[in-house]
Structure 1
Amino acid sequence: MLTDPKTRYRPYTHASGGWGSAKSVASILWQEKALAKIGAALARQNKPKGFACVSCAWAKPDDAHPLEFCENGAKATAWELTAKRTPPAFFAEHSVTELRGWSAYALEQHGRLTHPLRYNASTDRYEETSWETAYQEIGAGLRALEPKEVVFYASGRASLEASFMYQLFARAYGSNNLPDSSNMCHESTSVGLQESIGVPVGTVTLNDFEHTDCLLFFGQNVGSNSPRMLHQLQQARQRDVPIITFNPLKERGLQEFVNPQSPTQMLGPESTQISTQYHQVNIGGDTAAITGIAKALLEMHDSALQRGQPGLLDENFIATHTSGAESFMRYVREQSWARLEAVTGLTRAAMEATAVTYAKAQRAMIVYGMGLTQHRQGVQNVQMLVNLLLLRGNIGKPGAGICPVRGHSNVQGQRTVGITEDPAKVPGELIEQHFAFSVPEEMGTSTVDACSGMLDGSVRGFVSLGGNFLRAVPDTSQMEPAWQRLKLNVQVATKLNHSHLLPGEQAWLLPCLGRIEIDRQDGIEQCHSTEDSTGCIHGWQGVSEPASEHLRSEPAIIAGLARATLSPQVAIDWEAWRRDYSLIRKAIATIYPEIFHDFERRMWEPGGFHRPLGAAKREWATESGKAQFVTPEHLIADDDVQAPYARRDVLQLMTIRSNDQFNTTVYGYDDRFRGVHGTRSVIFMNTDDIVRLGLAGGDWVDVTTAVEPEIERRVGPLQILAYDIPQGCCAAYYPECNALVPLWHHAERSKVPAAKSIPVTLSLSTASAPGDTLPERGRVIAAQG
């Protein structure tokens, strides 16, 4: 394991972006030892005829900036185009058992996989194999299992073409077990928005940012997770548009921004204030906060009517386009301010101030992230945001709407082309008509279901199209033994990670091309497509030479597995699709004509093309035919673990990402915006909680889940860092703290793990160093962030 002598805490007082961002990008370019190659690629990132960012799914503008990438996008590009390699000789030197002791950072930083590999249990090593041998052995292994026993997971990275092929492969095999990373983040969005407004995605496009009068942010850290959005936010602030933020932690990207592409800001003291109001809501207090805003709005509306003035609600819109308003408004009026203040940790004045600002705006947008979706009542949280927008008619007009910020670069697009466990969400009749097989009727497994199946033994095979499933899922200490019992484990990957090191009975590592690499099939360069967070579909192509001549593209790997596994009666010419991806796009357009008609031409339009969004036109594909107000059942977002909160020694923990990571990938051990350097082994706590629990800043503690005591869920040691977070709340890093999340603690109906609110207790640790992180040298200086 690596060591870092520079572990320290130093409050970060600068704006997001600026020279801090430039320095961080320069550092990782140097670290990955491929300056010229990475630099050339960055010039074509998110550009026409260039490649779509490997990192977040934020939208690409029609008119690209000279440098159309952010700090984290540059890190993702450098991470993929690294000069470092992990060839077969590496595995001859290191057993799988030894590698399990390496940190996640050390594994991925060793570089790109170069050859297909098969696990040899007798030597405890991965050994080189041929592609054809791998296909045939995997095909035989799949045929030996029942389709219901096999899970086909997709990480969110794969293109539309690969995703479409993958779901057809799984369904032709006989399985709807198609969970993906959406199950772990925004499935609450897909369920909630579909019920409320008839589309499973947001209604906002980039153009709406130019016309909005007000922005509300809930549970989304733009500075670390989607920094390119800061351009739209900065432009809005330059028009004096108010931005109101609700988030337990104060994040630098939502406080202050210096545009790295602005010489004036880079060379002078000027910066842009992002949030005009910042409300540090309690973890799990979002439904109550939205209820408070709505209550204040209704009270102002009633008062205006009593004075003979126009009301503040869009009553014509509500009467014409919505259902359920009366029940929702009755519920809101019945809630007491004392209760709302207690649950949110906010004052009545803070919620009223938001309502006043919102009421003045003719066109308002709400932006949100996993801070709302990863709760027991995550679906309700999303629907509450819709309720607030509906009160003033803020869906279906320019500058208004709902904007979920997706994480991985094509996780939304994968759902669009059939990566879903629900067969009702795919056009089964068209698939049967064109490809001569029937879509299985049985509901497939979500991510949580797949984990449960591994625990009870009903899932015996796992095929993963990218990702680091075992690190991403909850209940790590329960899942690792179950993962090792798999009979078949197939991992399509670019780098080594911990999911590969508990291989089960039979395991293969199939190295694929990265998104940035040129994809040649029989010597002809191929193109790909993805869908961004705003429902816009873009064409792109790789720009760099592959890391190894032995790599294959994801479509080619899927085609090889399908040929080796499926009956020839399935009417899909996998080999033809492998040679020419335009044939895949033609098939996508055939199965999804409303979205993908004239696909081959439209994907190259400036800025791409938008999928139809009926709600944006006030067309509501809901059961009632109208937008639906949904009356909440709970003010508490995590009622399934509510009982322990009455204990004074229990804190609510939320998992967070650092400035130096994307999903489970850790680029480094710095979290610049939170002032942490050289470690991830920290827990952020309110000063009053530290004192009242008899602890001190800098103490090392073990963190234990405060429910289901018969199963110990423990992480540590973590060092206490005093920080600006509400009392009773604390935060620590994902994925290290996934072990604290019980598998059953997930969102109702969407089954998204409720990782943003976990009841925990702390105890002084007797261990001398943290576990799966860089070993510490010295103590983190505890100070208020």
Structure 2
Amino acid sequence: MTRIQIKERAGPGALDTLFHQNKPKGHMCTSCAWAKPPNPHLFEFCENGAKATLWDLTSERCTPEYLARHTVTELAARSDYDLEMRGRLTEPLRYDAESDRYLRVGWAEAFREIGEKLRELEPKSVTFYASGKAALEPSYLYALFARIYGHQNLPDSSNMCHETTSVGLKKVTGSPVGTCTLEDLEHCDAIFYLGQNPGTNSPRLLRPLQQAVERGCKIVVFNPLREKGLLEFTDPQNPMQMTVSPATKLAHQYLQVKPGGDIAALMGVMKRVLERDAASRDAGGPGVLDRTFIDQHTAGFDEFLARLDSAGWDEIESNSGLARSELEAAGDVYADAERVIGIYGMGLTQHVHGSQSIGMLVNLLLLSGNIGRKGAGCSPIRGHSNVQGQRTVGITEKTSLAPNDKYRELFDFDPPTEDGHTTVEFLEAILAGTARGFIGLGGNLAKAVPDHERVHAAWRDMELTVHVATKLNKTHLMPGKSSFILPCLVRAEDDVQKTGRQTVTMEDSFSHIYGSIGKRSPASPYLKSETAIVCELAKATLPGHPKWLWDDWMGDYGLIRDLIAMTYPEEFHDMNDRMHQPGGFYRGNGAHERIWKTESGKAEFTTPTVMNACGIGDAAGRYHLVTVRSNDQFNTTIYGHSDRLRGISGSRMIVMMSTADMKRDGLREGDTVSLLGDAGDDIVRKVEGLRIVPYELPDGCLGGYFPELNPLVPLWYHDKLSKTPASKGVPVRIVKEAV
């Protein structure tokens, strides 16, 4: 944290901001979506959260004068790290093609020109993308703006990571989000932890995991990489543990499953649970399965049971990369536990059959009624701070999830009924030449997507690109024929509108809503809030209407929350009164109450059609690449080049490989190699200049950094249901480079 503070030259006020971070009447962290407890610690932030805040509150400035000195072509050759190190954007900018530069433009002129261009374009050719940081208020208006304009092309960053949860989990439980609350972690006896690394991605989760272990909970980890954050934890707010006491060992059992092998691994665990159940009943005991729950609350059990019975141990071991004895030991942990929580991340979601992987975890929980009761449930860990909330208030490409009846009632227009497109479908439209306009509410989408070479080559063919942003990034440097950068406030900054200082709200991974108030002076007097920018764009684009009160909403965010409450009365009633409630207010979750909003009206057992979630299987010479983030990174934002928890530093152009695979391929630590895509199509995908780093991985598995290795991920290689890119099992081959 100190290193980032020095690097960013964030002043003393930044430390005061951190002190109030994630506390009532403070500002809510822009990093992950972990819960903000009702009784916060003195310092209720983690290393990642501190980095995100200090990064936002840098004293460095990226001014129009600086940008006028450099062409876009020059800047595009720099790394994202170097671009963001230039600091905060200070004034609106318009791309000048003749000079190949971004030049200063007035706000009124920018809005007028963007509005004129949007009116010229066919609405369905335009995409409104949202990064998961934007709060509920601008997100609600952004979705409304898009639908009045005439389309539902509203992908957000969940399309790149957890959309498999939104689709897959909803299919089997009726809930598109996790079923747990923070309190459940205080009562569980076992946690099955799959495909997520809290040390890097959600450090504030480590303390609840530590507390669970200290009261006897057993954590069983399934992860290809052996991650320090899941092995042990030293609480930085515990002076005794920092000085005298040993670190808390977290994982009771650490199973290094091969990429995509969670389906088979969970099958093995459940075979053991069924054996234990049968043995208990034969001995006159109660058994392990909750037969009453299964009969009353589930569907598809018999079909699943038949598939489980037919799965042989050879099939399970070869597809999971784990031994029968390991999986049986994990099954014993489950069978001995009264309350079990399943926690997972993108290691489960970012696969071709990721939806089936989620279904298998739910199967395990359903066996003993471990959904819908205290201390039990399914808990996906979200990355962006409000990515779940954006979907909740209408940012979705699906007509079935849009509040169309309320739109008609409140705003007097007929919303579109044709589904919009996901991020992958947007990229396909770029390649097809049918995507003509793009508005990005935050984010660095072009850097985050698969198939960089193809997508980037076509990105600039769009007629209009508009970026609401805080710092310069690579996506901005692929301007369309008309392109604008609209600089906005960060969440920690004072947002003053016509009625005074404003509050925004966001939702955590546990479906709790929090108010957030920024109090730092803005980086520039020319910045506007995301809410104000959305309102001004809508005003410049749409005709006037007595019910479209953009000026009023821009001046008083409480009016927007009234709209959210009227649109979703069951979940958001009295939102203005409840938003500063300690611990947030709970908007509810049907599956948490055993109300199953599925097709059958019950929780659904999944019968898998595959035993490994990777879409392309093993072959001689083929590896499966797992892309990961370092602890010096948040998504595409690179804070530095020290992956401290993995013991890797310096260049991010590395590939992690087991020593056994290195020996087999005649490679040594420090060798330079290329990775070549092995997806079987006719497109050459290659990343050169990668340094070999030994790391503890399963045979046939490689690790490397996102987004540097995204060029290796085919655009078509994604989850079958959600179209989430399958970045956790990318088929590649290694080519040693000449010295």
Give the TM-score band, short-chain normalised. Answer: over 0.9
Asked if structure 1 preserves the Cα contact closer than 8 Å seen for 2:168 and 2:721, the reply is no
> What is the 5 A alignment of 1:689-704?
689-704=661-676
Of 31, 42, 56, the residue aligned with 1:66 is 42
- Match of 1:198, as an amino acid? G
Of 648, 661, 664, the residue aligned with 1:676 is 648
Percent of paired sites with the same residue:
50
- Rounded Cα–Cα distance in structure 2 between residues aligned with 1:329 and 1:548: 62
Q: Does residue 301 in structure 1 map to residue 277 in structure 2?
A: yes
- Rounded Cα–Cα distance in structure 2 between residues aligned with 1:115 and 1:569: 30
Per the alignment, residue 657 of structure 1 pairs with 629
Of 53, 76, 85, the residue aligned with 1:77 is 53
Of 216, 220, 226, the residue aligned with 2:196 is 220
Per the alignment, residue 771 of structure 1 pairs with none
Of 60, 63, 73, the residue aligned with 1:87 is 63
- Match of 2:646, as an amino acid? R
Q: Does residue 727 in structure 1 map to residue 699 in structure 2?
A: yes
Unaligned runs of 5+ in 2: none
| Partner SS for 2:434 | coil
Alpha-carbon displacement from aligned partner over 1:716-737 (angstroms, at most 9, x marks no partner): 2100011100010001000011
Asked if structure 1 preserves the Cα contact closer than 8 Å seen for 2:140 and 2:394, the reply is yes
Shift of 1:38: 1.6
Alpha-carbon displacement from aligned partner over 1:432-480 (angstroms, at most 9, x marks no partner): 1110111101110100000000000111100000000100111000100
Shift of 1:250: 1.0
Of 171, 181, 185, the residue aligned with 2:161 is 185
Asked if structure 1 preserves the Cα contact closer than 8 Å seen for 2:276 and 2:335, the reply is no
> What is the 5 A alignment of 1:31-180?
31-180=7-156
Q: Does residue 711 in structure 1 map to residue 683 in structure 2?
A: yes
Of 681, 706, 713, the residue aligned with 1:741 is 713
Alpha-carbon displacement from aligned partner over 1:488-510 (angstroms, at most 9, x marks no partner): 00000000000000102110000
- Rounded Cα–Cα distance in structure 1 between residues aligned with 2:45 and 2:705: 25
- Rounded Cα–Cα distance in structure 2 between residues aligned with 1:531 and 1:620: 22
Asked if structure 2 preserves the Cα contact closer than 8 Å seen for 1:685 and 1:725, the reply is yes
| Partner SS for 2:187 | coil
Per the alignment, residue 11 of structure 1 pairs with none
- Match of 2:347, as an amino acid? G
Per the alignment, residue 758 of structure 1 pairs with 730
Per mean C-alpha deviation after superposition, the further-off stretch among 30-39 and 386-395 is 30-39
- Rounded Cα–Cα distance in structure 1 between residues aligned with 2:217 and 2:289: 21
- Match of 1:151, as an amino acid? T
Of 323, 337, 346, the residue aligned with 1:347 is 323
- Rounded Cα–Cα distance in structure 2 between residues aligned with 1:331 and 1:570: 59
- Match of 1:503, as an amino acid? P
- Rounded Cα–Cα distance in structure 2 between residues aligned with 1:119 and 1:273: 53
Of 459, 463, 466, the residue aligned with 2:442 is 466
Q: Does residue 514 in structure 1 map to residue 479 in structure 2?
A: no
Of 240, 243, 264, the residue aligned with 1:264 is 240
- Rounded Cα–Cα distance in structure 2 between residues aligned with 1:614 and 1:165: 26
Per the alignment, residue 5 of structure 1 pairs with none
Per the alignment, residue 262 of structure 2 pairs with 286
> What is the 5 A alignment of 1:491-502?
491-502=467-478
- Rounded Cα–Cα distance in structure 2 between residues aligned with 1:604 and 1:98: 46
Of 195, 201, 215, the residue aligned with 2:177 is 201
| Partner SS for 1:434 | helix
Shift of 1:426: 1.3
- Rounded Cα–Cα distance in structure 2 between residues aligned with 1:375 and 1:702: 23
Per the alignment, residue 17 of structure 1 pairs with none
Asked if structure 2 preserves the Cα contact closer than 8 Å seen for 1:423 and 1:439, the reply is no
- Match of 1:411, as an amino acid? V
| Partner SS for 1:228 | helix
Per the alignment, residue 420 of structure 1 pairs with 396
Per the alignment, residue 20 of structure 1 pairs with none
Shift of 1:710: 2.2
- Rounded Cα–Cα distance in structure 1 between residues aligned with 2:178 and 2:581: 21
- Rounded Cα–Cα distance in structure 1 between residues aligned with 2:333 and 2:212: 15
- Match of 2:634, as an amino acid? F
- Rounded Cα–Cα distance in structure 1 between residues aligned with 2:693 and 2:597: 48
Asked if structure 1 preserves the Cα contact closer than 8 Å seen for 2:139 and 2:390, the reply is yes
- Match of 2:30, as an amino acid? V
Unaligned runs of 5+ in 1: 1-24, 769-785
Asked if structure 2 preserves the Cα contact closer than 8 Å seen for 1:264 and 1:270, the reply is no
Of 211, 224, 227, the residue aligned with 2:187 is 211
- Match of 2:462, as an amino acid? L
Asked if structure 1 preserves the Cα contact closer than 8 Å seen for 2:676 and 2:684, the reply is yes
Of 374, 396, 414, the residue aligned with 2:350 is 374
Alpha-carbon displacement from aligned partner over 1:396-442 (angstroms, at most 9, x marks no partner): 11000000000000000000000000011012011011101111011
Asked if structure 2 preserves the Cα contact closer than 8 Å seen for 1:367 and 1:405, the reply is yes
Asked if structure 2 preserves the Cα contact closer than 8 Å seen for 1:436 and 1:570, the reply is no
Asked if structure 2 preserves the Cα contact closer than 8 Å seen for 1:92 and 1:127, the reply is yes
Asked if structure 2 preserves the Cα contact closer than 8 Å seen for 1:487 and 1:505, the reply is yes
Asked if structure 1 preserves the Cα contact closer than 8 Å seen for 2:241 and 2:247, the reply is yes
Shift of 1:307: 2.9
Shift of 1:270: 2.0
> What is the 5 A alignment of 1:608-623?
608-623=584-599
- Rounded Cα–Cα distance in structure 2 between residues aligned with 1:193 and 1:100: 39
Alpha-carbon displacement from aligned partner over 1:82-132 (angstroms, at most 9, x marks no partner): 011100011111110000111110001110000000000000000000111
Alpha-carbon displacement from aligned partner over 1:37-91 (angstroms, at most 9, x marks no partner): 2211111110110001010001110000000000000000110000111000111
Asked if structure 1 preserves the Cα contact closer than 8 Å seen for 2:92 and 2:104, the reply is yes
> What is the 5 A alignment of 1:542-691?
542-569=518-545, 571-639=547-615, 641-642=616-617, 645-646=618-619, 648-691=620-663
Per the alignment, residue 27 of structure 1 pairs with 3
Shift of 1:523: 6.6
- Which structure 1 residue ranges, 4+ long, deviate > 3 Å from structure 2? none
Q: Does residue 490 in structure 1 map to residue 466 in structure 2?
A: yes
- Rounded Cα–Cα distance in structure 1 between residues aligned with 2:11 and 2:112: 39
- Match of 1:703, as an amino acid? L
Per the alignment, residue 10 of structure 1 pairs with none
- Match of 1:612, as an amino acid? G
Asked if structure 2 preserves the Cα contact closer than 8 Å seen for 1:172 and 1:570, the reply is no
| Partner SS for 2:394 | coil
Alpha-carbon displacement from aligned partner over 1:209-248 (angstroms, at most 9, x marks no partner): 1111111100000011000011111111110111110000
Shift of 1:580: 0.2
| Structure 1 residues 137 and 570, CA gap change in structure 2 (3 angstroms) | farther
Alpha-carbon displacement from aligned partner over 1:570-612 (angstroms, at most 9, x marks no partner): 7210000000000000001111111100100111111111112
Asked if structure 1 preserves the Cα contact closer than 8 Å seen for 2:627 and 2:703, the reply is yes
Asked if structure 1 preserves the Cα contact closer than 8 Å seen for 2:320 and 2:612, the reply is no
Alpha-carbon displacement from aligned partner over 1:503-527 (angstroms, at most 9, x marks no partner): 0211000000001111001371000
| Partner SS for 2:309 | helix
- Match of 2:441, as an amino acid? L
- Match of 2:406, as an amino acid? L
Per the alignment, residue 775 of structure 1 pairs with none
| Partner SS for 2:251 | coil
- Rounded Cα–Cα distance in structure 1 between residues aligned with 2:692 and 2:308: 39
Asked if structure 2 preserves the Cα contact closer than 8 Å seen for 1:312 and 1:392, the reply is yes
Aligned length: 739
Q: Does residue 357 in structure 1 map to residue 350 in structure 2?
A: no
- Rounded Cα–Cα distance in structure 2 between residues aligned with 1:650 and 1:750: 26
- Rounded Cα–Cα distance in structure 1 between residues aligned with 2:199 and 2:400: 37
Per mean C-alpha deviation after superposition, the further-off stretch among 514-523 and 303-312 is 303-312
- Match of 1:150, as an amino acid? V
| Structure 1 residues 130 and 523, CA gap change in structure 2 (3 angstroms) | farther
Asked if structure 2 preserves the Cα contact closer than 8 Å seen for 1:468 and 1:498, the reply is yes
